[in-house]
Amino acid sequence: MQALRAFEAAAREHSLTKAAQSLNLTHGAISHQIKSLESDLGVRLVERAGRGIRLTDEGERFAS
């Protein structure tokens, strides 16, 4: 459940740092949880984009 919250916050904020701040977690915790979710689902959900993130096509579908 934490991984889903982490992904939702990151998708909403387009930033792991802002997602971490909104959930009172560390950047590393958000990153780890999203990687775990990606591993469980077998797809990449986010890509690094400069200082933020971009949802992949699969990430966009999963977020909706």
> Which tens digits make up the pLDDT trace of 20-49?
999 999 999 999 999 999 999 999 999 988
Residue 64: burial class (beta carbons within 10 Å; 0-12, 13-18, 19+)? exposed
Structure-block tokens of residue 14: 């387009």
- The pTM score is 0.91
Q: Is the pLDDT of residue 1 over 90?
A: no
